Structure formats: structure tokens, C-alpha cells
A and B are shown apart, each in its own frame.
Chain A
């Protein structure tokens, strides 16, 4: 059977610009290449700046998972200067980051991923009564009634009839891989619309503590929002009540809409539990410190590595075992392009070898702006699945319980986790856990305030003249899309070096010197169907299950385009 070349560029419903090329034969994908097609150079821009400003610059690496780079950045600077933030600042950061996770995952599910599984056009033919019966059987959500669904359907019918489908134009509607009955499609479309309202409302938590969203404000040494119950312009009872309401609203939606929908939809797509697993190694750097980011024992999501799908042991993560390869990337290394370099010795010299116009990149030796990070020479997957697997294997009580529950409901074994479906399910599981956790953090904040503990910032080491002549630090963060690290080196009160190794560099990495594929690429050739090359729906399913975020792919380059010596972290 002849093989077909398929190009999907742009991959839509993601952050940034991504191109996927595959080779397909007899309905299966036999080869795949992932290309990041944008480079911005933000790390270069950091050189010579005030380290206290770094959060604002690096925050602009991504406006979707906004906050995550800012938080990794303040942690890196605080690590370098040995600043310990007050307990309330840590709680507020957890609340901000926790709400980011919840909002981001729900948006991802409904607005960026669901259309891969939900046929909007099929919902037109649903019976609203049956849809309500289905919805009520899985959740007590008040809007799950026939009248509501009928109203949504009436709008939808007209929309389809108008012939102007806007964002739904040229979708792969009617593709045989869509398996949901019309009623489930209608329920999902209805929740797609409700989620749009919901996300706007709950993310206001960022605005209370950080002044705006996207891109709320952070601060080296704590948070800028002062707490004073007796003042109008500060975090007072009105603000706290608002936050309490948002936390409840977040929890209700996650428990009564997102999670039941996810399980219900997944039950129609169990075959995807054997598709798209790919790279068998998983890395989680851990997140949500209960005390301080440097107290690894206090992390709610633990740090660790699973190798070769072996859930019987969790390997300790040592960042010194990370090396980046550029064999397939548009960069060049002084010592040769086949060498792997630890980030401390890393080099980033862009060297584009493609054309200003192209039809195919596959077959080119270099084909992307992503480097290829490897752990002990092995590719890794990062993200919700990595976090949940590491938690599961470390015997984390909450994670074990919820993973067990989900597997039980779907009547499948843990092996299905290593798949496209597993990645999507893991995202839901951690969202449920965090929705609970938010309430605990909030209670802790209230209890601190009650005891008169209101500090949100430490002015220790705020003034640059109090800093050592040189300092360096590492800030990690497990972002919604996976493990993230920022490294900073400070000299004479200014940033001398700055580098980020980001979730997408791990997952979207190209082939390394040994020809090993990165997570997207490997997933696409793991028992992966492609029924209609001109309607690459299955490719979108697997790629979206990673929740790609491409603008993260930034690298270091100095003012003259030459090399920078990399950060040395002690």
C-alpha cells in the first residue's frame, strides 16, 4: 500500500505555532515529525536587567498558562538571593497557581480539546429529553435539563443553517472517528458554552491578588497585595468573600460538569486507551509547596521520575542528568551538533537551514526551533499524566484514590493510562484534586489572618545593594503543561544569564543524535490510526492531549548573536 505524506500546519486550538508532518500507510501513522515554527528569544532579552523585573518579562513567554513563568522566575531569584517569603505569600501563590490550573484545564478540555471528540453538527439531531436524562444520570448540575438543552439546540440548528460557521467552519464533522451519540454531543456543546462564562468568572481570583488576568502581578519576596481587614484599598473581608465564592464556583463546576463529562465521554472512547502512548518515561518536578518552594517534602504533587512505564518504583530526579540535543534543531553547537549539553554548558546559536517557503520539512536533517532535552539520554513526557503517575507510584493517597475511582468507572486497568486517553484523564484527575485543595489553602489563609498574621512580603534583600556580588538560583515549577525550570545568574545587581527549560521543549522535542523521538512524535506512531489523510482528526486528538504550548520554545542568545556561558547552579 502506498504511503501518504500528511501535513497539518497550523495545528489549531493550541498556544503558539506548531506544524505536524506524518507518513501514513493503510490507515496507520508510520512516521512523524513535530516542528515549532516560531522563535522569540526572550532569554536573550533578560541579560542586563534588574532580576526583580524578570517575572514580568518571562511571564510573557505564555499568556495562556499565564503566571507560571512569573512564578518560576520569582522562585529562581528568591533562591539566588536566599529570600524566604512569608507563609501568606506562599498560600496566595498557591491559590493563584491552583486557579490557573483549574481554569486552564477546563478551557483546554472544552474549548481546545473537546471538538476532537464532540461532533457539534451531530448535536443538532439529538433528543433534548434523552440528553437531559443522560446528563442527570451523571450529575446533579442544575442546567442539565431538557429545556436548557432544547434552547441550546435551537440556537445550534440556526447557526448551522446560517451557513456561516465561523470558528466551526471546515471542521471534520461526520468523520467516522466521532463516536458519541447525538445526546452526549448536545450535552457537551451546552457545557462548552457554560464553561466560557465560568472561566471568566473564576479567574478573577488573579485580579484580586494580582490586579489583572492575563498576566497578573508577582513580586520577588512575596506578593504586593497587602492584607488589612480595616481598609478599603487592600485585601479585606469583601475581597476574601469574593475569593471564597470563586473557589466554590470552581469546585462545583469541576465536580459537577467537567469531571462527569470527561468520564462519560471517555467511556465512548476506551479504544483510545491503547493509542498514542509513545515515550514510556515520565518526569514531574513537583508542585504546590505547603511551606516553601525549597522544602521538597512539603510538595502536594511529588517530584520524581517513572522509567519504562514501571510504576513499581519512582526514580529520584537530579537535574544534572539533563542534556539538550540540537541534532534536528535550527541551532549549532561549537563542539558539533551531535553532542548533548547540560543546560549549564548549553549554547544557543540559531542557524536556520530551512527555506522561507516550504511544502515539506520531513527528511531535512534539521526541522524545528525546539531543542531535544533528554534525561540520562532518554526522552521524557511531562504534564498531568507524568504528575499523576509519579503520585500514583509514590503512594500519594489522594491521587491513588481518584485514579482508582476513574479506572473503576471506566472498567479498565492502569495500563490505559499510558495513552492519549490517559493524558486527558490525568488532567481531569488533578483538576478535581486541586479544586479541593484550594479550599484548604483558603482556610489556612483565613486562619492566619485571624491570628493576626498578615505579612505578604519580606523586605529582606529587596534593595540591590544588599545582594552579594554574584548569585545564582534555580526556580522549578510544575505548570499545567508540565515540568518547568528557570535558572538565573546575577552579577553586580543585574541578570548575567537567564535560561528556561520548559514543558514544551520536553514534549515537542525532535529526534536526538540517536534518532530517538520526542513525546509528540513518539505518540503519533504508537498504534496510531489516521482514517482520512485529508481530515487528520486523530492527529489532533493525540497532539491536543498534550495541551501544546509552543511559545515556550525560547532559547538563549546574546546581544551579538554569539554564545553565552550558561548558568552554574550550586
Chain B
């Protein structure tokens, strides 16, 4: 992703100057801006203003900290398939620290990071993947002889903004699932005085990360978010509302078993446990890996990976809503269960029920979620 499509962007020059020097055509740049404007929910008419703002940008510095994680989020960003110029925007940020990609190691990389943080103090973007263990003073994740928490606090200090990339970085994800043996929490539980956005997902789609960076460069601020910190441009809609199988849902045409006749016709996966009705995510619109497909497109129900605590609230994955962890309130079961039993009309009714249900959930911020519904340990929901 580096040096791939253009000349390197020189320190101090603007993106506009840089593009001109690189021989990138105005047309392909505008195409890229259009694409980004659409993903950002601004509409294609906003492309010229996106372009104008982008062109004036200086090459930004990025420090990427990897904490307690599986590295899937890094891999997802490596798969970014935005238009060529999209790679350019990522390529030419100055990525001054990344454990996965740095050529050097040990003292040499720690020094590169320290130098860059000092030089760009107050101005760099901090990308964080992975969670922070809090039990036993945080000794479950150490780098260079120090806890990752110490590294995070230090790097956050001089950051202009923080991108919590992936489920781990926002709320701890899989290692924070019940019983959360290491006391894993997300960055919002540690850092309270910096703007943080949450690119949700396990992992998130690489292109959504690109779009968020573009947003930051274009408008000089992070995108607007919902109360979970998720950019509205990507996470404003439920999967269920954009799902190509939705017509089957509304018509009461359900897959009853994997590979049954209905599955072979692409009907709705609700009965197989699909969490699309309770999940806010750009999956059906942006799709995965250069729009090749997405989970429901490949016949598997959505597991709700952009939702907080989904390892506990959305499991068992193959149990249908609302019979899963986070949906145990009787009245909801009554409403939805009853409507399901009615038959063909059930689809519409269930849908209405789920919408209400989701609104109920969304009205509660995470710290207001009742204790019994909250899967993680003490430390993990003080934010």
C-alpha cells in the first residue's frame, strides 16, 4: 500500500501539488472524490468540495498502536480496495509506527515512534487496534518492557484524534467476552480527553477506514457519530433495511435449514439466526473485498459484529432474534413471538417489532445497559 500508485508525498507540500507532480489525472482524482462523497453520505454533488478540501491537505502523520488483538483489523486495512487514488491517500500518510509493517525492530522502531510523536505533537492521528488488559496492572500485554496501557496513554497525549479501529479497540471484543479473563477494555475506557471514533466491526471493512481518514482530511474533524462513536455515514443504517433478501423477509420466505431449497434461492436468513435486524453496519452497501460479496450474500446469517458486546448479546449465533443473550425481556419476546406465529404477515409485523426493540436498545447508552445484560467485567464499562 506504500509507494504503490504515485510519487511519495513530500513533507510540507499539499496533496494538490503532490497529485500534480505525480501525474494523477484530475479526472481520476475527481472520480475518487465522488466515490468517497457517496460513501460518506454527502451525495455525489459534494465531490468538488471534498476535492477542494483534500487538495489543500499536508501529509498527515499516523501512529498505529497494536494492543491485545488478532491483527485481523490490520489485515482488513491491507485489503482496502478503494479506487486507485484511495490507496494514494492511505499510502501517502506518513505511517511512522506500525508493528506489523515496520522494517526495523526493537529499539529502532520505538525510537522512530518517539521521534515522530515529539515532532508532530498535537497533530498526528492515532490509530488503535486491540484492547487494553486491565487486570493484574495490565501485564497481559507488554511491549518493549512496558504495559500497552502505558504506551496508549503516552501516544494519546499528543494525538489530535484517535481512531479506534475494530471491535477490540472500542469495547474489548472477543477477549472481553464473558468472563473476560484479562479485564480487557477499549480505548474509550482509558482515554477520556480526546475525540475518538469507533470504526466498528470484527474486523471493519477496510474502505470504511479509508473513508474516515478522508473525512478527517476533508473537514478537519472526525465524522458525526452515533452514541457508540460509529460514523453515521457508514453505520447509520441497519443491515436489515438495506438487505437484498429483505423482500423475502417481508414476504415471509425464510431459509429453514442451510442448503435447503429456500437457501438455494437466496431467501431470508432470519430463522437461521440472522442478526441483521439489530445490527447497524455498511456491509450490504459497501460490501467486502472490492464489493465481491458480504456474509449474507454468501449465505451465512449476520453475526452482528459491529454491535457492542456482540459475543455475548448476539450469541448463540444460530438462535433467532429475539431469543439470544441481549434480547431477553419478556414483553419483546411476546410481541415478536406472537407476530411470528401469525404466518405470512409475520414478516412485516416482526420487522415492526424489531425496529421498536432496537430503538429501545439504542436509547440506552452502554453504561445504562442493566448489569445482568452486560457481559463484561467491572472495569469494562466505566465509560
Contacts and interface: CB of A to CB of B under 8 A. Distances in A.
Contacts of A63: 69-76, 203
A542 to B, nearest CB: 13
A63 to B, nearest CB: 2
Contact of A155 (B3, B98, B101): B3
Interface in A57-106: 57, 60-64, 66
Interface string A31-47: 00000011111101100
B258 A219 contact: yes
Contact of B138 (A17, A168, A171, A356): A356
Interface SS majority for chain A: loop
Interface string B64-96: 001011111111101111000000000000111
Contact of A10 (B143, B257, B311): B143
A215 B259 contact: no
Given A53-B315, A231-B266, A551-B69, A212 B288 contact: yes
B300 A210 contact: yes
Nearest to A193: B4
Contacts of B235: none
A342 interface: no
A356 B68 CA distance: 16
Nearest to A112: B100
A232 B104 contact: no
B140 interface: yes
A172 interface: yes
Nearest to A116: B103
Given A42-B174, A162-B11, A9 B144 contact: yes
B42 interface: no
B175 A49 contact: no
Interface in A393-431: none
B317 interface: yes
A424 to B, nearest CB: 17
B308 to A, nearest CB: 16
Nearest to A459: B257
B145 interface: yes
Nearest to B269: A224
Contacts of A172: 103-104, 108
Contact of A40 (B80, B179, B182): B182
A53 B303 CA distance: 10
B146 A204 contact: no
B367 interface: no
B174 A53 contact: no
B141 A37 contact: yes
Interface string A106-120: 010001100100001
Interface in B88-125: 94-96, 98-112, 116
A141 interface: no
B139 A354 contact: yes
A12 B104 contact: yes
B359 to A, nearest CB: 27
Contact of A37 (B143, B174, B179, B290): B143
Given A224-B298, A459-B259, A208 B8 contact: no
Interface string B25-44: 00000000000000000000
Interface residues of A, number: 106
A38 B27 CA distance: 47
A158 interface: yes
A60 B173 contact: yes
B109 A551 contact: no
Interface string B287-314: 0111011111111100100000001000
B192 interface: no
Given A8-B105, A211-B295, A228-B264, A40 B74 contact: no
* Contact size range, B: 35 or more
B290 A200 contact: yes
Nearest to A44: B181
Contacts of A561: 181
B7 interface: yes
B199 to A, nearest CB: 14
A503 B141 CA distance: 20
A456 B259 contact: yes
A160 to B, nearest CB: 9
A214 B294 contact: no
| Max count, chain B CB within 10 A of own CB: residue among A19, A60, A66, A166 | A166
Nearest to B70: A63
B147 interface: yes
A476 to B, nearest CB: 21
B144 A170 contact: no
A163 B8 contact: no
B318 A61 contact: no
Contacts of B8: 155, 158-159, 162, 164
A169 B104 contact: yes
B332 interface: no
Contacts of B293: 207-208, 211-212
A439 interface: no
Interface in A184-238: 193, 196-197, 199-201, 203-204, 206-217, 219, 221-222, 224-228, 231-234
Nearest to A57: B174
A221 B258 contact: yes
A135 to B, nearest CB: 18
A296 B3 CA distance: 46
A226 B292 contact: no
A118 B322 CA distance: 55
A200 B79 contact: yes
Contact of A234 (B140, B244, B299): B299
B316 A17 contact: no
B174 A211 contact: no
A435 interface: no
A244 interface: no
A120 B111 CA distance: 20
A177 interface: no
A48 to B, nearest CB: 8
Interface of A: 7-17, 19, 37-42, 44-45, 49-50, 52-53, 56-57, 60-64, 66, 107, 111-112, 115, 120, 152, 154-156, 158-159, 162-164, 166-172, 193, 196-197, 199-201, 203-204, 206-217, 219, 221-222, 224-228, 231-234, 242, 352, 354, 356-359, 454-457, 459, 462, 534-536, 540, 551, 557, 559, 561
Query: What 10 A-B pairs are tightest by C-beta distance, nearest first?
Result: A63-B72, A233-B266, A41-B181, A211-B295, A171-B103, A211-B298, A217-B300, A50-B316, A457-B259, A8-B106
Given A212-B288, A214-B72, A214-B203, 5 more contacts: A62-B72, A207-B298, A213-B289, A224-B300, A551-B69
6 contacts: A12-B99, A39-B133, A50-B318, A53-B317, A63-B75, A64-B72
Interface of B: 1-4, 6-11, 59, 66, 68-76, 78-81, 94-96, 98-112, 116, 133, 136-147, 150, 173-175, 177-182, 184, 202-203, 244-245, 257-260, 263-266, 288-290, 292-300, 303, 311, 315-319
